[in-house]
Amino acid sequence: MLTKKTAIGIGIGSLAIALGSFFLVQSLISNVNVVSDTVDMGKSDIFQFEAQKHFHEFLNVTGESFHVNLKTPGDGIQVNQDFQNNTSFDWYSLTDGKHFINVTNTGGSVLHVTGQLQAVQSPLIFMSHLLVISSGVLIIGFSAAFSIRKPRGF
């Protein structure tokens, strides 16, 4: 028979394992970040991310006037210029490395920045999900000890 402490512990541990597993699988499957930002007048929107070779990136900027500074690793796209009305960038990463995008609003209206940026997940995020899963297993193990029969003298 399960005691009250054991049932609560098993429930909490199972919840931790389920949530950790869900977010672990989600972070392994999805590495596409959908961008949908607005940039006020005189402000900037900065994106920095790591991408692997052959990752597909797309960015569209719409507004009165703006400055774009885009740097990709290796011999990839290098843009540092002003634009009017609308511009789109569509590229594939040529080498692994850090991408840097800075969009500055220089006009009199709000900018709209949309796109999809494929990025490599940090190993720390992966390890944090594994830590939550292992914590759930430990909670279940400790709570199961509450339901075993205690020998005489305890």
Is residue 154 one of the residues assigned to a domain? no
Q: Model confidence over 84-136: pLDDT tens digits?
A: 989 999 988 888 889 999 999 988 889 899 998 888 777 788 899 999 999 99
Residue 120, C-beta contacts closer than 8 angstroms, at least 6 positions apart: 31, 49, 50, 51, 52
**What is the residue whose two structure tokens read 């402490």?**
5
Range of the domain at 91: 32-120
User: Which helix (DSSP H) or strand (DSSP E) does residue 53 occupy?
Assistant: none
C-alpha span between 58 and 55 (Å, rounded): 10
Is residue 99 one of the residues assigned to a domain? yes
CATH of the domain at 93: 2.60.120.680
Q: What are phi and psi of 70, to 5 degrees?
A: -125, 125
Total domain count, the chain: 2
Top-confidence residue, 150 or 26: 26
Predicted TM-score of the model (pTM): 0.64
Strand-pairing partners, residue 74, are none
